[in-house]
């Protein structure tokens, strides 16, 4: 029979299948309806705290990068590091100044759509837009994207490990090791 209005004793007297189904329903209810108040405001506060912790950890792990966002970077020897700074700086700048000309980068003249010859790094460029707006520096845009990458790597692994293990401390350790 159905479960509407039955008490727990009536469930236990049912057939084996009914007992299994009731047990499964109880387990699913516990999984989806965990105890404790969980309001939107509480989730927002926790999310802000987690994001701030992630940013602080990224700054700590990459120090002294955050102390000089416009001057430090991976380009001291030129090559790939300098290309990465240029790439993210170009995308950040062009998204603000001329979004339709994003792929008409200032390399390989007279060719057109030259950003397509390399990684577009559009997401990293979007992350770098605020830093580029404030400083006008390709280094600042690049370094902001690097710090964002470390912070989201930690946060993502922390969330995954916490969800899988059920232990926030284990999740934090896994996030630190991963980032």
Residues 6+ apart with CB under 8 A from 150: 57, 58, 61, 62, 179
Place of tokens 């008490």: 7
- pLDDT score of 133: 96
Question: Does pTM top 0.95 for this prediction?
Answer: no
pLDDT tens by residue, 46-99: 888 888 999 999 999 989 988 888 887 766 666 778 888 999 999 999 999 999
**Mean pLDDT of all residues belonging to the chain:** 83
Residue 81 has a CB neighbour count (10 Å cut-off) of 14
Distance CA 128, CA 143 (A): 8
- pLDDT score of 138: 92
Tokens of 120: 């577009």
The pLDDT of residue 103 is above 90: yes
Inter-residue contact 157 to 63 (CB < 8 Å): no
Q: What is the end-to-end Cα distance of the chain in Å, rounded?
A: 53
For 97-129, the DSSP string reads H-GGGTTS-SSSTT-SSGGGGS---HHHHHHHH
Query: Average pLDDT in the 111-132 region?
Result: 92
- pLDDT score of 83: 85
């Amino acid at each position: 029979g159905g479960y509407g209005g039955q008490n727990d004793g009536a469930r236990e007297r049912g057939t084996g299948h009914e007992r299994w189904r009731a047990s499964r329903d109880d387990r699913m209810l516990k999984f989806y309806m965990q105890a404790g108040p969980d309001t939107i405001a509480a989730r927002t506060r926790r999310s802000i705290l987690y994001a701030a912790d992630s940013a602080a950890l990224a700054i700590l792990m990459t120090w002294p990068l955050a102390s000089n966002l416009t001057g430090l970077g991976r380009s001291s020897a030129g090559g790939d590091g300098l290309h990465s700074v240029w790439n993210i700086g170009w995308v950040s700048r062009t998204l603000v100044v001329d979004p339709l000309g994003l792929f008409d980068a200032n390399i390989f003249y007279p060719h057109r759509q030259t950003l397509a010859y390399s990684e577009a790094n559009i997401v990293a460029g979007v992350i770098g837009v605020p830093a580029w707006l404030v400083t006008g520096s390709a280094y600042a845009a690049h370094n902001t994207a690097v710090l964002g990458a470390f912070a989201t790597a930690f946060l993502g692994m922390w969330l995954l490990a916490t969800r899988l293990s059920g232990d926030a401390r284990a999740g934090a350790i896994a996030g630190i090791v991963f980032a």
